């Protein structure tokens, strides 16, 4: 069995979990499964329902790697999910990445799957240790707002999106992607998560 690393220990990878449909176009296919074949940047993967999907990796290729709270630094791009409990924000999901998001990224939005949860996108401005975790100040995308949250070392989902070379596209590795026709009608995905080592793609709610 493959495993993914989350803060607080190892948990079984969500091999058959379905991704939230969100507001994806009708012709979009959500893929989560092992690679069956590789030809250049075109791969065929077996989806959770047993069907095979072929598509081109046309953009960024990443893996979800473990990261400790004390490894997060100012300047990192970050995504947070929070739930309001009175005046307190409880953080349920954190992931970081080393590259900046493109213009037009949402500063905050409710999740499609659970509107009581708010997703925050931005950059870490300050991070300081507290008992059992860290206090993080995040400047939202666009720079017009900010949020300060306490993230405990028991946060359920915590990882870092690490960019990977095309060599990570190997038969047997698990991939996760949203696939749809490109301008030429070919199935493609501009953001693909691939298993590297024992760190398989982590499914998060949308």
Nearest to 177 by CA among 160, 158, 190, 168: 190
Q: Under DSSP, is residue 184 helix (H, G, I), strand (E, B) or coil?
A: coil
Instruction: Give me the residue spans of the domains in the chain.
Output: 3-64+161-194, 69-160
* Number of CB atoms found within 10 A of residue 118's CB: 17
Nearest to 152 by CA among 82, 74, 63: 82
> Has residue 13 got a pLDDT over 80?
no
What local confidence, expressed as pLDDT, does residue 198 receive?
Answer: 85
Q: Which residue has the tokens 């300050």?
A: 126
What local confidence, expressed as pLDDT, does residue 109 receive?
Answer: 96
pLDDT in tens, 80-130: 999 999 989 999 999 999 899 988 899 999 999 999 999 999 999 999 999
Report how far Cα 63 is from the mean position of its chain's Cα atoms: 9
d(CA 55, CA 43): 6
The pTM is what?
0.82
d(CA 180, CA 152): 37
d(CA 95, CA 65): 10
Residue 3: pLDDT band by 50, 70, 90 thresholds? very low
> Has residue 134 got a pLDDT over 60?
yes
pLDDT in tens, 176-194: 999 999 999 999 999 999 9
Specify the CATH number for 3-64+161-194; select among 1.10.645.10, 3.90.550.10, 3.30.70.360, 2.40.50.320: 2.40.50.320
What local confidence, expressed as pLDDT, does residue 72 receive?
Answer: 95
d(CA 113, CA 195): 25
Check: CB of residue 7 under 8 Å from CB of residue 155: yes
Rg for the chain, CA atoms, rounded: 17
What local confidence, expressed as pLDDT, does residue 26 receive?
Answer: 66
């Amino acid at each position: 069995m493959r495993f993914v690393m989350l803060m607080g220990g190892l948990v079984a990878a969500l091999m058959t979990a379905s991704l939230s449909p969100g507001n994806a176009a009708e012709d979009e296919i959500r893929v989560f499964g092992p690679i069956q074949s590789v030809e250049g940047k075109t791969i065929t993967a077996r989806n959770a329902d047993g069907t095979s999907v072929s598509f081109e990796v046309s953009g960024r290729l990443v893996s979800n790697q473990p990261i400790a709270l004390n490894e997060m630094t100012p300047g990192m791009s970050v995504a947070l999910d929070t739930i309001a409990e009175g005046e307190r924000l409880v953080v349920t999901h954190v992931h970081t990445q080393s590259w900046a998001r493109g213009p037009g990224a949402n500063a905050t939005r409710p999740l499609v799957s659970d509107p009581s949860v708010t997703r925050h996108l931005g950059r870490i401005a300050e991070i300081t240790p507290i008992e059992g975790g860290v206090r993080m100040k995040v400047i939202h995308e666009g720079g017009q707002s900010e949020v300060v949250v306490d993230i405990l070392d028991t946060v359920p989902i915590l990882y870092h999106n690490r960019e990977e070379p095309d060599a990570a596209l190997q038969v047997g590795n698990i991939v996760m992607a949203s696939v749809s026709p490109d301008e030429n009608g070919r199935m493609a995905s501009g953001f693909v998560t691939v298993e590297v080592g024992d760190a398989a793609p982590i499914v998060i709610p949308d």
